[in-house]
Structure 1
Amino acid sequence: MIQNDCDVSPLKQQLVSRLQDVTKEIDQVVAGLDNENNCLLGRIEGLKEKFEAIETAASSFYLNCYLSPFVNKFVDISSSIQHLSSLRHGALIVIERKDLIDSYIKPGTFVGANLTAALLESIFFPGNPLHDGAVLVRSDQIYSAANVLPLSKVNAGEKKLGTRHRAAIGLTEQSDALVLIVSEETGRVSFAIDGNLYPIITSSSLI
């Protein structure tokens, strides 16, 4: 993955805090092994949940790092993703980075408008003719909508992955694009990069 310098202090502090908390709990679990009457299965299960929370926090932190060199509208993207998630409006948003992706997608409808949260949300509103497919963000513009992305063949057998997720993974297997996905079924948000999928935080103003 491309590593970028970024300053996202609240997310970084949250990540550090969670790592410190789980480190302390691991030490307590190790110390508790000396007591044969102390069953630690419940605490180990709790650690699993905390590691999943750490993964989500880390994904949110690095998402900003990956986006910041290529788009200045992170706040607008974050706001729209939060709202789409809360409404469970499915979305697929491609952030073009160094690689031009025209040759990897089936082009949809040209938009050519400045990126705003309101416009991004309106495109994915159910019933909008452009809502089915992916939005392409190029620099700070919504370049086009209703684009069709290549589906991942590697993940074709994964029943848990819907078409949006397979499309996001498929494009990022072939280019350095970053793709944001909002699940219509659950409202959960994730992003794909380098052919991998990561969950991100949507419980605050930071994703």
Structure 2
Amino acid sequence: MFQPTCDFSSLKQDIIKRLETISSEIDEGLRTLQNDNECVLGKLEDLKERFEQIETVAASFYLNCYLSPFTEKYLDLSTCVQNLSHQKHGGLIVIERRIRLDSIIRQGTPVGATLTSSLLESIFYPGNPLHDGAVLVRGNEIVSAANVLPLSERIVLGKKLGTRHRAALGISEKSDALALVVSEETGRVSFAMEGNLYRIATASSSV
């Protein structure tokens, strides 16, 4: 097993800076509330958006922390999903952790190649026969592609999820795997772990 590498200082400093800014704005909001002639609804809405942005940046930070003990290729994974997001190419990547996934997923096409960003991107290129299923990553290797995952029946935020997101949640509900998913409609990148879905920051996201 790889040793955790959780010293992503720039992301951590960004989170701290954003939280300090919000703390100051909350103090200002409290002072505003003491004035009966002031309305704070607009400020509360702005703070809500700021918290959502911080959650997205924090998810990016913790994603690398969760991946680094299980693969040395976490930067390749990050580069891949950033590029897929920019091009709005859908993708679903499952990183196996402690629990073996062979009996949980329906096996697709064996790949057996060292993980690189360019190889992953080529698998998910539209029109590639393998692009519709999930890629299985074990350690530093792409084990297989076009795998079929169990689908979650959950509804998140009152909306039905697309197949990729349901599959990402489904595998995270039945194992300790971490699943990265890129939406081809919006380019948004999320990861599923322990039955929860978290959006992560990309170069094109407004965080």
Same fold (TM > 0.5): yes
Superposition map of 1:99-138 within 5 A: 99-138=99-138
Once the 2 structures are TM-superposed, how far is the Cα of residue 154 of structure 1 from its aligned partner? Answer: 3.4
Question: CA separation in 2, counterparts of 1:144 and 1:80?
Answer: 17
Q: Could you give the per-residue CA deviations for residues 154-189 of structure 1, whole angstroms, max 9, x where no partner exists?
A: 349954310111111111101000000000110000
The answer for the alignment partner of 1:93 in structure 2 is 93
Give the ranges of 4+ consecutive aligned residues of structure 1 lying more than 3 Å apart after TM superposition.
154-160
SS at match of 2:111: strand
The answer for the alignment partner of 1:174 in structure 2 is 174
Question: CA separation in 1, counterparts of 2:49 and 2:141?
Answer: 38
The answer for the alignment partner of 1:163 in structure 2 is 163
Contiguous gaps of at least 5 residues in structure 1? none
Question: CA separation in 1, counterparts of 2:201 and 2:97?
Answer: 22
Q: Indicate the larger mover: 148-157 or 170-179.
A: 148-157
Aligned residues of 2:5 and 2:68 also touching (Cα < 8 A): no
Give the TM-score taking structure 2 as reference length. 0.93
Once the 2 structures are TM-superposed, how far is the Cα of residue 36 of structure 1 from its aligned partner? Answer: 1.5
The answer for the alignment partner of 2:152 in structure 1 is 152
Question: CA separation in 2, counterparts of 1:195 and 1:147?
Answer: 19
**1:139 partnered with 2:139:** yes
The number of equivalent residue pairs is 201
- Over the matched positions of the two proteins, sequence identity in percent amounts to 63
Q: Indicate the larger mover: 85-94 or 158-167.
A: 158-167
RMSD: 1.6
Aligned residues of 1:155 and 1:166 also touching (Cα < 8 A): no
Q: Could you give the per-residue CA deviations for residues 46-89 of structure 1, whole angstroms, max 9, x where no partner exists?
A: 00100101111111111011000001111111111111001100
SS at match of 2:176: coil
Q: Could you give the per-residue CA deviations for residues 130-163 of structure 1, whole angstroms, max 9, x where no partner exists?
A: 0010000110011100000000133499543101
Aligned residues of 2:67 and 2:74 also touching (Cα < 8 A): yes
Query: Which one-letter code corresponds to 1:17 in the other structure?
Result: K
Query: Which one-letter code corresponds to 1:201 in the other structure?
Result: A
Once the 2 structures are TM-superposed, how far is the Cα of residue 24 of structure 1 from its aligned partner? Answer: 0.7
